Chains A and B, each alone.
Chain A
């Protein structure tokens, strides 16, 4: 079953606002990945994190690998309508090989 707790489950924001979401676990992860899924599409990889404390940006997106290796955060700055979608965190544990564990997802709605 799911071992990643992702929050919030949903967010309703105004265009231009910043957004934060996070994933936490009781287990240690070696890699954190953040995906975005649009309706009718497969998840698209946004950011990959490999080291505790790592902070990585991709345009208006910034993600951090928590120093405890049990959490990760994704921030979106100056949101725009095309940011609408479901954001998933996913993690790789040392014992899981390449088998990803996914969070429950955060549904983001951006009002123009």
Chain B
């Protein structure tokens, strides 16, 4: 499986500010995703990060709030914009491995908005 790292691992931010989360993979992968995990909840897909084109967002998530970049096959960023306390969550990136259907997750970024 791919080795996935995320930065930062955690942050405490003030409302109204923005935070950019980085996801780095140790090998080239075709598909990368961003998920949100609210406290005590399951994982919800935010968007598919497409290399060289705009991300594909799931219902309830918009580009203005969660802009995503994917400049190459090993790196992606997710920005949480104009944050409010409701954005306090763990944000996780994932990649599809060799098995096509198997997805692997990064360690997550724990965000607290005050």
Do the beta carbons of A105 and B42 come within 8 Å of each other?
Answer: yes
* Bound CA–CA A90/B107 (angstroms): 18
Do the beta carbons of A33 and B103 come within 8 Å of each other?
Answer: yes
Q: Which residues of A have CB within 8 Å of B103?
A: 33, 45, 90, 98, 100
Q: Interface size on B (CB < 8 Å)?
A: 25
Q: Which residue of B lies closest to A100 (CB)?
A: B103
* Bound CA–CA A43/B100 (angstroms): 18
Q: Interface size on A (CB < 8 Å)?
A: 23
A21 contacts the other chain (Cβ, under 8 Å)? no
Do the beta carbons of A98 and B101 come within 8 Å of each other?
Answer: yes
- Interface majority SS (helix, strand, loop, mixed), chain A: loop
* Distance in Å: Cβ of B92 to nearest Cβ of chain A: 5
Given the known inter-chain contacts A98-B31, A98-B96, A99-B33, please indicate yes or no for A44 contacting B105, CB distance below 8 A: yes
Q: Mark A24-63, 1 if CB is under 8 A from B, else 0.
A: 0000001101010000111111001010000000000000
Q: Which residues of A have CB within 8 Å of B101?
A: 30-31, 33, 48, 50, 92, 98
B52 contacts the other chain (Cβ, under 8 Å)? no
Given the known inter-chain contacts A33-B101, A33-B103, A42-B92, please indicate yes or no for A102 contacting B43, CB distance below 8 A: yes
Q: Which residues of B have CB within 8 Å of A33?
A: 101-103
* Distance in Å: Cβ of A63 to nearest Cβ of chain B: 13
Among A2, A40, A48, A88, contact of B102 (Cβ-Cβ < 8 Å)? A48
Given the known inter-chain contacts A98-B31, A98-B96, A99-B33, please indicate yes or no for A45 contacting B42, CB distance below 8 A: no
Known pairs A45-B102, A45-B103, A92-B101. 19 more at Cβ < 8 A?
A30-B101, A33-B103, A35-B105, A40-B107, A40-B108, A42-B105, A42-B106, A45-B1, A88-B43, A90-B43, A98-B31, A98-B96, A99-B48, A100-B33, A100-B43, A100-B103, A102-B42, A104-B41, A105-B42
